[in-house]
Amino acid sequence: MVSAPLTAAALVDSRMSKRALRAKLGLSNDKQLAKVLQLPVEQVESWEEERALPAVPEVLRLLDVQTGTAPAPPPADPDDDRIVPVEVA
């Protein structure tokens, strides 16, 4: 069973059905899926088996989807202050 959302993100597709997601994660029932998603069992049970997963925050987090956020800026170059012009003779 995959327990870390970021690890599971590599395994799932945003168009995946509930049945396919359970199979990918090695889960046998909705109760286990609800525990991974940290949602009430009743909510997960209400989703249709073969339809695409709903766009609730917990599912999006598992799928590693960023909603309404700007992309993270690139990391600062640690060697930026060490680069100097070179004079050639």
Q: Could you tell me the maximum CA-CA distance found in the chain, to the nearest angstrom?
A: 76
Residue 82 within any structural domain of the chain: no
Residue 50 within any structural domain of the chain: yes
What are the C-alpha distances in Å from 52 to residues 1, 9, 25, 43, 55? 21, 16, 16, 15, 9
Residue 32 within any structural domain of the chain: yes
Residue 77 within any structural domain of the chain: no
Q: What is the pLDDT of residues 27-43, one digit of tens each?
A: 999 999 899 888 899 99
Residue 79 within any structural domain of the chain: no
Q: What is the pLDDT of residues 41-59, one digit of tens each?
A: 999 999 888 888 888 888 7
Domain around 61:
5-66
**pLDDT of 11:** 47
Which tokens in the block code for residue 39? 């949602």
Residue identified by tokens 């070179």 is: 86
Count of domains observed in the chain = 1
**pLDDT of 42:** 93
Burial of 71 from C-beta contacts in 10 A (0-12 / 13-18 / 19+): exposed
Residue 75 within any structural domain of the chain: no
Residue 84 within any structural domain of the chain: no
